[in-house]
């Protein structure tokens, strides 16, 4: 009798399933909280200490959506121009979605958004690439400089959904003061749901790669409801 198939074939005779990867770049001025937001989503907590990102860091997390394992890869880009120069063209390669971040307590970071949008345009990001706008640091509502209605107008004008959140205190249980902020978790999962419903297989790698990364543990539950705003 012929020997049983070995190697990459599974018992069913099919090749092992592959994990889709969604590359999401996170862009905005230095200090708005890009590192904290991406760390929060991938490691499940606020980092104790951050330093300015040099070039790019990337973090990833394996999630399951409708029974399919998907690797969400977050590219945390440097906000400071001097730390971006040599890397910028790499950010934009094979991007599936863009997250623009400003700091609700820093009007200048909001005024910079058109320049970040323009940078995307210059790197030929098509209109099929979903974009979202995130106002971070909602735990500091007393120091707000960018009001929700102004941000919403901007988001509408650029056909982006707006989320306001806090990487530090994303409206967890007991946080009654910041009832309007979105969960960091829900924001990135919303983007992933949107991509899953929209994208054919673009990048993949064997499922055997578990998606663990240097940040270690994922939060106990990957299950969230869809946040509002992504059509
Ligand atoms: N209160 C508060 N502070 C935050 C929040 N997110 C980030 N920070 C603080 O803001 C500072 C900058 O955060 P980072 O995440 O390093 O900012 P970044 O956008 O990655 O900055 P670059 O790497 O220079 O582009 C740090 O001191 C964080 O602790 C938040 O939601 N609330």
- Tens-digit pLDDT profile for residues 16-56: 677 899 999 999 999 999 999 999 999 988 998 888 988 88
pLDDT band, very low/low/confident/very high, at 4 (cuts 50, 70, 90): very low
Question: 133: exposed, middle or buried (C-beta count within 10 Å: 0-12, 13-18, 19+)?
Answer: buried
Contact 41, 136 (CB under 8 A): no
> At residue 153, does pLDDT exceed 70?
yes
Name the superfamily (CATH) of residues 21-197. Answer: P-loop containing nucleotide triphosphate hydrolases (3.40.50.300)
40 C-beta closer than 6 A to ligand 1 = no
pLDDT band, very low/low/confident/very high, at 216 (cuts 50, 70, 90): very low
Helix (H, G, I), strand (E, B) or coil at 71: strand
Contact 58, 110 (CB under 8 A): no
State yes or no: ipTM above 0.90: yes
pLDDT at position 70: 93
Domain boundaries, the chain: 21-197
Mean pLDDT, the chain, rounded, equals 79
Mutate to test the pocket of ligand 1, among 26, 28, 31 (most ligand atoms within 8 A of CB): 31
Atom of ligand 1 nearest to the CA of 78: 25
> At residue 98, does pLDDT exceed 70?
yes
pLDDT at position 34: 96
Mean pLDDT of 158-169: 94
205 C-beta closer than 6 A to ligand 1 = no
């Amino acid at each position: 009798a012929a020997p049983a198939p070995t190697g990459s074939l599974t018992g069913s005779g099919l090749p092992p399933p592959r994990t889709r990867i969604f590359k999401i770049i996170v862009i905005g001025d230095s200090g708005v909280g890009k590192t904290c937001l991406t760390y929060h989503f991938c490691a499940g907590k606020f980092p104790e200490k951050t330093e300015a990102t040099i070039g790019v860091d990337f973090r990833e997390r394996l999630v399951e959506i409708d029974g399919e394992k998907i690797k969400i890869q977050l590219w945390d880009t440097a906000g400071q121009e001097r730390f971006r120069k040599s890397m910028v063209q790499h950010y934009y390669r094979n991007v599936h979605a863009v997250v623009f971040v400003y700091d609700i307590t820093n009007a200048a970071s909001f005024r910079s958004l058109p320049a970040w949008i323009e940078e995307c345009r210059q790197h030929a990001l098509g209109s099929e690439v979903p974009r979202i706008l995130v106002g971070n640091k909602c735990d500091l509502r007393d120091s707000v400089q960018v009001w929700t209605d102004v941000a919403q107008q901007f988001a509408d004008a650029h056909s982006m959904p707006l989320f306001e959140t806090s990487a530090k205190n994303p409206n967890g249980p007991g946080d009654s003061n910041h009832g309007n902020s979105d969960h960091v978790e829900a924001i990135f999962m919303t983007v992933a749901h949107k991509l899953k419903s929209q994208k054919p297989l673009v990048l993949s790698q064997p499922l055997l790669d578990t998606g663990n990364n240097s940040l270690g543990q994922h939060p106990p539950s990957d299950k969230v409801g869809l946040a509002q705003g992504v059509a």
